[in-house]
Amino acid sequence: MAKTVALVVAAGRGRRFGGDIPKQYHDLAGRPVLRHSLARLAADPSIAATRVVIHPDDQELYQAAAKGLALLEPVFGGESRQDSVRLGLESLAALAPDQVLIHDGARPFVDCGTIARVIAALADHDGALPAIAVADTLKRGSDGLVQTTIDRTGLWRAQTPQGFRFGPILAAHHQAVGQELTDDAAVAEHAGLGVALVAGSEDNFKITSTEDLSRAQGRFSGQGYTVCGNGYDVHRFAPGTKVWLCGVPIAHDQGLEGHSDADVALHALTDAVLGTIGAGDIGAHFPPSDPQWRGASSDRFLAHAAGLVDGLGARIVHVDVTLICERPKIGPHRPAMRARIGEILGLPMDRVSVKATTTEGLGFTGRGEGIAAQATASVWLPG
């Protein structure tokens, strides 16, 4: 399977948008616009890693927007978007990816289907971009008067993410230094690379004005309703020196057996979140038969589930986890556990509950053979 990474461009100043902060950090349904964009990419299992290109002045804004998401360290951009993309690509070279998706940080509604279509097209093409056929009649004008009507046949509105085979697009950006090209597909075209068109989505619009932001806010408005999901998981003890619980490593005289890091609490919580939107269970998204998930951090599983919720315009409003075990003692680690879950999900501490209980010596947990966890997630869905 080809290794795909994502590069999110978020170094712009948003001068057309106005305001005290760049548009990608404006609030959208309680979270920065950029957070929505990143959550959707982080939730897609076909993307191995995501890096964001930011402006040096936006470091605090970025850290708040990206908190809890499994992302590579950001890099600083350049004078133009084209410069920023080139610098981002150069920073990814050490990862030796096969292909890269380049996405605008101010497009918060990209969906998994669009991502999949772009990636699929890279099997036969150097590049691919999602696009919408132009439906409106186009006019060329000057001094407030119509000069001519433009034939819209074959005209498309380009979107992102734009995908490319990594080596060719990096070389193309090096060749294009000093040119002023409007997007990465134009850079590829300048270098003679073939770029395929795939179906885009009207929902995948870019926020460039206050009107766009209002349109985006409208997707989160409405009556809405709250749903709940439940999850349960068990892992047996195995030789080891620590256990991972709620994303926190705890020193112990045994470990937990599992294909990933065996974090029984995050596995149960992931299933609970998936259950709120009818998205199956953790095994359907991260099958234990797939070697790429061996030893994987369960943070990624939970972030994936949260991204699917975000992708529906929904919000996780509260989570509750109960650990069932005789040992280790959970109490001393509870604050760190709540904080870590809050980071992953972007929730304040008062919306994250972690509890522990025993079975009074009964059953497999009472005999000290393993740890069980059950979890409940509450999610607001737009009406």
What b-and-e string marks burial along 32-41, b requiring 16 or more CB atoms within 10 Å of the CB? Answer: bbbbbbbbbb
Four-residue CA torsion sign, 1, 275, 6, 106? positive
- Does 165 count as an annotated binding residue? no
DSSP strands (E only) in 154-264 = 156-158, 162-165, 195-199, 225-238, 242-245, 248-251, 255-256
- Does 281 count as an annotated binding residue? yes
Among the listed residues 308, 313, 141, 338, the one whose alpha carbon sits nearest the alpha carbon of residue 246: 338
- Does 166 count as an annotated binding residue? no
- Does 357 count as an annotated binding residue? yes
Q: CB–CB of 383/223 below 8 Å?
A: yes
Rounded Cα distance, 160 and 249, in Å: 38
Describe the chain by its helix, strand, coil percentages, rounded to 5: 35, 30, 40
Phi, psi angle pair for 354, to nearest 5°: -130, 125
- Does 367 count as an annotated binding residue? yes
- Does 37 count as an annotated binding residue? no
- Does 283 count as an annotated binding residue? yes
- Does 17 count as an annotated binding residue? no
Angle at 353 between CA 351 and CA 359, to 5 degrees: 165
User: Which two structure tokens, joined as six digits, stand for 168?
Assistant: 């060719």
User: Tokens 């000057």 sit at which residue?
Assistant: 142
- Does 164 count as an annotated binding residue? no
- Does 104 count as an annotated binding residue? no
Q: CB–CB of 320/347 below 8 Å?
A: no
- Does 259 count as an annotated binding residue? yes
- Does 151 count as an annotated binding residue? no
- Does 364 count as an annotated binding residue? yes
- Cite the DSSP H helix spans in 289-346: 298-311, 334-345
> Parallel, antiparallel, or unpaired for β 352-357 and 195-199?
unpaired
Rounded Cα distance, 158 and 224, in Å: 32
Q: CB–CB of 117/178 below 8 Å?
A: no
- Does 358 count as an annotated binding residue? yes
| Binding site as annotated, residues | 233-235, 259-260, 267, 281-283, 357-360, 364, 367
| Binding site as annotated, residues for a divalent metal cation | 233, 235, 267
